[in-house]
């Protein structure tokens, strides 16, 4: 059967106490709903429909790039009513997998196993076993262990409240049967809502087999209803990612203090110190070391490179055996060849630096083409912006710039040139020459430093 996925994401999320729709709150740098869409798409379904409601325009605009269909639930009348809004998009010969936009940690393997348990004449549901089932719907089984129905917490009897196997809401149901059962739903319950869970009792009555799969861990099926639960889910995800990294051979100084908010790919013998944050797509080569308190976003780092403490790297390409930091910043478009050194309080933006070049102290390299073996002296600034436009600077191989130099773009500095300290260079610099561009030092012998007048003492 073709698989169709329906993701319920219409809830307002009042307990989040935020104007941002609940499903857009970030987990590891991405909206909760984005995590669910990604795992749904990984199953390669025929179609994915997101049922949206509260803050719908914002939700759709934020996730407009996603290849999903949208179904509006204008009034929130329960989960059964929500799935009804997706029915027009579902074909009777499909198997419908129901997911939730606020359950972001569900794993592909668990869903694959759940889908395999369902068929044209059977349905499956995902359950969990918890020590404290307060607030959850209970899975009610008969003496033979067969699922009979799901009872919501507010509707449960005292014996049923003792049941620790609980409903996650995630299920796989043949569309033709689902359409029939949804048409029979009633809202005569404590909440006055149309419960999707009531289709389980209908399936039993129609002698349709109901299989319950217990989730590998309760953490995988946790829903997010407030900021506390959001932090808990973030913690679970962080721990899982850290575990996967260590199993893959990465050394983490403290697994609890590494945040991966995207995709991190590591070579052999990589080590990561505390409070490192990885965002977007990051690739680390073999023997890369990441120091403490670094933020690295959409960056590729070559073999043997060391990123020292307190660096920020964004949309940059770093070659092999480089040393970056401490307190360095690589902005978008920075591209470093091998064995480049970028030191403390140096910023590189939209520039290429050739093999073995160095900028070790207090410098800005912007919109520049820097050759090999160039030494950018302390305090050197490339003045690339005239107030309206950016201009390019070319620094050829083996150039040395003296401390506190200013190179005013557009300009070319020839091979082997040396620029004297304190120079402000506005014209092309010839190769293999010493260029000075500074005022002649003058001493004024008769000059006297001004002094402040002493105030008169009181009473004088």
391 noted as active-site residue:
no
341-350 CB burial, b ≥16 within 10 A, e <16: bbbbbbbbbb
Token readout for 106 is: 């569900």
**Residue-wise burial string across 23-45, b where 16 or more C-beta atoms lie within 10 A, e elsewhere:** bbbebbebbbbbbbbebbeeeeb
Cα angle for residues 401, 405, 410 (degrees, 5° grid): 90
Helix intervals (H) in 216-330: 227-247
Which residues are within 8 A (CB) of 356 and not within 5 positions of it... i.e. 6 or more apart?
337, 338, 339, 340, 372, 373
Question: Distances from the Cα of 393 to the Cαs of 15, 379, 396, 407, in angstroms?
Answer: 54, 17, 10, 8
Q: What is the DSSP letter of 385?
A: B
Backbone angles phi, psi at 349, to 5 degrees: -140, 130
Using CB atoms within 10 A of its CB, is residue 460 exposed (0-12), middle (13-18) or buried (19+)? exposed
Q: Residue holding tokens 């307060």?
A: 134
Give yes or no for a contact between 425 and 406, defined as CB atoms under 8 angstroms apart. Answer: yes
Cα angle at 76 between 118 and 36, to 5 degrees? Answer: 45
- How is the beta sheet containing 271-272 ordered, strand by strand? 251-252, 271-272, 289-290, 306-307, 323-324, 341-344, 358-361, 375-376, 400-401, 418-419, 434-435
CA distance 233 to 222: 7
- Indicate the DSSP class of residue 220: G
List the catalytic residue out of 54, 153, 361, 391.
361
SS (H, E, C) 69-98: EEEECCCCCCHHHHHHCCHHHCCCCEEEEE
What are the catalytic residues?
361
């Amino acid at each position: 059967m073709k698989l169709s996925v329906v993701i319920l994401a219409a809830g307002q999320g009042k307990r989040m106490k935020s104007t941002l729709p609940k499903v857009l709150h970030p987990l590891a740098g991405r909206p909760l709903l984005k995590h669910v869409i990604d795992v749904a798409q990984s199953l390669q379904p025929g179609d994915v429909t997101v049922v949206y409601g509260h803050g719908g325009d914002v939700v759709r605009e934020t996730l407009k790039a996603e290849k999903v269909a949208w179904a509006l639930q204008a009034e929130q009348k329960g989960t059964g009513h929500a799935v009804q809004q997706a029915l027009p998009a579902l074909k009777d010969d499909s198997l419908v997998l129901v997911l939730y936009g606020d359950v972001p940690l569900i794993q592909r393997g668990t869903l694959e196993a759940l889908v395999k348990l369902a068929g044209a004449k059977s349905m499956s549901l995902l359950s969990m076993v918890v020590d404290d089932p307060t607030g959850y719907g209970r899975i009610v089984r008969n003496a033979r262990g067969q699922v009979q129905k799901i009872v919501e917490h507010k509707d449960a009897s005292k014996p049923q409240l003792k049941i620790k196997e609980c409903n996650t809401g995630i299920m796989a149901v043949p569309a033709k049967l689902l359409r029939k059962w949804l048409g029979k739903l009633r809202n005569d319950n404590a909440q006055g809502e149309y419960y999707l869970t009531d289709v389980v009792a209908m399936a039993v009555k129609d002698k349709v087999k109901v299989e319950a799969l217990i989730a590998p861990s309760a953490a995988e099926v946790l829903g997010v209803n407030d900021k506390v639960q959001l932090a808990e889910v973030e913690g679970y995800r962080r721990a899982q990612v850290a575990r996967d990294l260590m199993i893959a051979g990465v050394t983490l100084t403290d697994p609890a203090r590494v945040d991966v908010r995207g995709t991190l790919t590591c070579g052999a013998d990589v080590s990561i110190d505390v409070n490192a944050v990885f965002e977007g797509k990051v690739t680390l080569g073999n023997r890369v070391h990441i120091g403490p308190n670094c933020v690295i976003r959409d960056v590729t780092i070559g073999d043997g490179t060391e990123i020292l403490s307190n660096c920020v790297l964004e949309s940059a390409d770093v070659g092999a055996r480089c040393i970056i930091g401490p307190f360095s910043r690589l902005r978008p478009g920075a591209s470093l060849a091998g064995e480049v050194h970028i030191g403390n309080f140096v910023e590189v933006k939209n520039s290429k630096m050739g093999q073995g070049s160095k900028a070790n102290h207090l410098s800005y390299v912007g919109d520049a083409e820097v050759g090999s073996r160039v030494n950018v002296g302390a305090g050197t600034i490339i003045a690339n912006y005239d107030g309206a436009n950016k201009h390019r600077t070319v620094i050829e191989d083996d150039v040395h710039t003296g401390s506190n130099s200013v190179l005013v773009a557009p300009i070319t500095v020839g091979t082997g040139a040396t620029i004297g300290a304190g120079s402000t260079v506005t014209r092309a610099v010839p190769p293999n020459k010493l260029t000075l561009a500074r005022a002649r030092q003058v001493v004024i012998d008769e000059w006297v430093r001004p002094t402040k007048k002493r105030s008169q003492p009181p009473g004088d």
